[in-house]
A and B are shown apart, each in its own frame.
Chain A
Amino acid sequence: MHRDIRLLTQPFIPGALIGPFTNTCEGLGGVCTFVGEVRGGGGVEKLELSHYEPLTMNGLQQLADAAADRFDLMGLLMVHRIGQMHPGEPIVCVSAAAAHRRDSIDAVDFCMDHLKSAAWFWKRELRDGVWHWIEPREADHADLLRWN
């Protein structure tokens, strides 16, 4: 399986990643891509994601291993931003290529549920000039349990 796992400190254009990624998966039958953006509203001015390189990158690689074991994939792209972002900026892009659609769709869903509550990131948002730390929502934990 072709894999492309990256942590980026600068803004990125998700659409620009997909063509080169799918080109590496010759003969694919389906590709599913999810892009998460920093949500606006609620007075959020900025979002900051911090990480710990030895754990965060290993964790993403292990998640890719788990997705590869569970689904029949030809390729998996997982790109995540770190650092400070503004509402509307892409924060994550996960794309899975497979011979059949169900594997690609489910692999993206699986990776996103794990990224949302179990990945080694710490997140805080700036609202009305004050930073607030964020923990996963109950719904994020419930989403993760779907895969047990």
Chain B
Amino acid sequence: MSIRIMYLGQLADIAGKDESEFTSSSGEIDWPDLVELLRNHVNPEISAAVDDARTLVAVNGKVLSDKTHLDARDGDEVALLPPVSGG
């Protein structure tokens, strides 16, 4: 089992990919874990971009009101959402 990270919009450009999968020995990833995983396993730019106040986070299709309360478990899909462009 792992946790799937989806990069939306310009975050996919910054990450250089559309998604990543991370496994954690505890089966859980919190916000500091995610920022660090991105910095160490993707690149520092994406880590900084998701920490930006305008970047929102959704877990399994639900947007978190406070992304720093992230508590992702094995099998979850975490979407990293930059400001929308609209249609």
**A interface list, Cβ under 8 A from B:** 36, 49-50, 52, 54-55, 58, 80, 91-92, 115-124, 131, 133-136, 140
A141, B61: Cα distance in complex, Å = 24
13 more A-B contacts (CB under 8 A) besides A54-B61, A140-B86?
A: A49-B87, A50-B8, A52-B58, A55-B58, A55-B63, A55-B81, A117-B84, A120-B81, A121-B87, A123-B87, A124-B10, A133-B9, A135-B85
Tell me the nearest residue of chain B to A115, going by C-beta. Answer: B87
**A117-B86, A133-B85 known; A122 and B9 CB under 8 Å?**
yes
Which residues of B approach A to under 8 Å, CB–CB? 6, 8-10, 12-13, 58, 60-61, 63, 79, 81-87
B84 with A121: CB separation less than 8 A = yes
Give A64 to B22 CA distance when docked, in angstroms.
Answer: 36
Of B12, B60, B84, the most chain A CB neighbours within 10 A belong to B84
Interfacial chain B residues near A58, Cβ < 8 Å: 61
Q: Which residues of the other chain, B, contact A124 by a CB distance below 8 angstroms?
A: 10, 85
Count contacts between A and B, CB distance < 8 Å: 64
Chain A residues closer than 8 Å to B84, beta-carbon distance? 117-122, 136
- Cα(A123)–Cα(B85), bound, Å: 6
Q: Chain B residues with Cβ under 8 A from A116's Cβ?
A: 86-87
A81 and chain B: residue at smallest CB distance? B87
Selected contact of B9 from candidates A50, A91, A136, CB within 8 Å: A50
Shortest CB-to-CB span from B63 to chain A, Å, is 7
Q: Which of B9, B79, B81, B82 has the most CB of A within 10 A?
A: B9
Contact A52/B79 with A122-B8, A122-B9, A122-B10 known, Cβ cut-off 8 Å: yes
A119 and B61 within 8 A (CB):
no
Closest chain B CB from A92 CB (angstroms)? 6
Q: B61 near A121 (CB under 8 angstroms)?
A: no
How far, in Å, is B12 (CB) from chain A's closest CB?
A: 8
B9, B10, B83, B86, most chain A CB atoms within 10 A = B86
